[in-house]
Structure formats: structure tokens, C-alpha cells
Structure 1
Amino acid sequence: MLSLNKVHHIAIICSDYERSKTFYTDVLGFTIQAETYRAARDSWKLDLALNGSYLIELFSFPSPPPRPSGPEARGLRHLAFEVDDVETAATALLEKGVVAEPIRTDEFTGKKFTFFTDPDGLPLELYQR
């Protein structure tokens, strides 16, 4: 039987490297572990950590094709971040110019959540601990 330990990382390809780098670091609070330019691919790779744990690889590529990314599109539905208080987190996003959807309550868990997007429209979620 396959024995997985945890999710190691999530890879995201962005359309504007500097804009996405600013969003994930200055708005969401990820820290940079490594930043590498790969000349052969004309591509940046940014390794990002959250609370000391490696979590996201942010890539740039020349002219990446667009992908539908609404929460109901085929493929990755969304990336969710656990927070202590959804209202406080949504307010912090708004202070950085990021508007979240109205806060809802999960009918199965009773936990609050909301959605917002990264600079490329990738759906992101805040979910109450």
C-alpha cells in the first residue's frame, strides 16, 4: 500500500513574476527560501515557506497559456489556508487591496470560510481553524 506522509509543495505558474512574488510575500506573508533564475528556460523559480514550512514553488515562464481557474473549473479547485479568524484575515487582505467574497459558513463543519484570488485569478480560500 502506498504510504504518503504529507503534501510536499504546490507549484504555481504565474503570468507576472514580480506581481505574484509581491502578492505571496507582502500580502499573504510567505517567506522566501530560495530564488533561482534558470537561464535555459528563461524562468524564475521562487521557493516560498509559510511558518517555516516549505509550501509553494512559484514559477515564471515566457508566455504561459491561460487556464480556467474558477472554483468550479476542472482541475485544481482551490488552495485553502487555515486561519484562526476568517473575519480578521479577510480584513487584513482588504487592507492590502485584496477583496474576498462574503464570508460563508460550511454547512457540514460549521466553520467560516471565504474565497479570494491571486494576481492570476487562482482561487484561494481562507478557512477557519
Structure 2
Amino acid sequence: MILNADHITIAVADAGPAIEFFALLGFKKDHVATIDGGHPARYMGMPGMKAQHITLALEGANPPFEIQLLEFDPAAGTDPGAHPTNLRKRGFNHLAFRVDDIETATARLVANGVTVLSDEMDYISRKLRLFEGPEGITIELVQRDG
């Protein structure tokens, strides 16, 4: 049986802005490893892979939750397809984080230049709002009632 989410991995062109973005949400750099072929690269199905693997841990999360960034060397090419915030495309849709106070969290993100993608919405006893995260991925904040 599944117990809980453990981590999500995001491929990034430049880890710096992603680390700064996720720090706004309470993630701290926990571990950095260089993948240069070897077992991790074979496990991921890319035996010649070279990348920085940066683990960001959510402070105080119980159970633990991580965002793992992969910064490939050389950087992967850009995909000419739909922009990542196009939520109609197939595959990854968005990453949602639960917050205690969506207005305060929104103000913090906006003050740090994060792009808001939606108005706040009340839906199924929760407040929701979408933002553009690193590499254009969509991030959602969720404040549940009660």
C-alpha cells in the first residue's frame, strides 16, 4: 500500500532559480550529488547521463517530502511543444502544496516576483490558486477549510 508522497523530480536548465523559488515555500537544500554515468544513470534508463542531482527537503514535513532537481550537462534542448502551464496537455499537470493561509503565501510569492496564473477559487471546501513555478511548471497552493 502507498503510505504517502515521497518526492517529485523536476528537470531544470538552471537549478539556481528553482532552488530560490522552492525556498519561498519552505524547502532547504539537503543534498547535492553529481551523476556521471554509473548506477543512478542506468537506473534512470540513461547510462551516459551527466547531471547535478539536488535534493530540496521541506522543513518540518512529517512524513518527509522532497523536490529533487536534475540539472543535466549538457542542458537538455527546449521542447517546442505547448508551454508547461498549459494544463490541457497530457502528462504532468501541476504540483499542489497545502498551506495554512493562502493570502499570506500568495503575498510572499508575488513580492518575490512569482507570476500568478489564476484568481483564488473556492472549491470543495478549499481555497486554490495557481502560480508559474520554475521552468514554467504550474504550482498550486491549497488551503483546506477546517
TM-score bracket, normalised by the shorter chain, equals 0.7 to 0.9
* The 10-residue stretch of structure 1 (4-13 or 37-46) with the greater mean CA deviation from structure 2: 37-46
| Higher alpha-carbon Rg | 2
Q: Which residue is 1:117 aligned to?
A: 132
Matched-pair contact (CA < 8 Å) for 2:5–2:65: no
2:10–2:67 contact (8 Å) kept in structure 1: yes
Q: Map residues 26-105 of structure 1 onto 2, 5 A cutoff.
A: 27-40=24-37, 41-52=49-60, 53-61=64-72, 62-64=74-76, 65-66=78-79, 68=82, 69=84, 70-100=86-116, 101-105=118-122
Calculate percent identity across the aligned residue pairs. 31
Q: How big is the alpha-carbon RMSD for the aligned residues of Structure 1 and Structure 2?
A: 1.7
Distance 1:78 1:47 in 2: 19
- State the Cα distance separating 1:124 from its structure 2 match: 0.5
Query: Residue 43 of structure 2 corresponds to which residue in structure 1?
Result: none
Gaps of 5+ in 1: none
Q: TM-score, normalization: structure 2?
A: 0.76
Give, in angstroms, the shift of residue 28 of structure 1.
2.4
Aligned length: 124
Q: Distance in 1 between matches of 2:51 and 2:100?
A: 35
TM-score, reference length from structure 1 = 0.85
Detail structure 1 runs of 4+ shifted over 4 Å in the superposition: none
SS at match of 2:56: strand
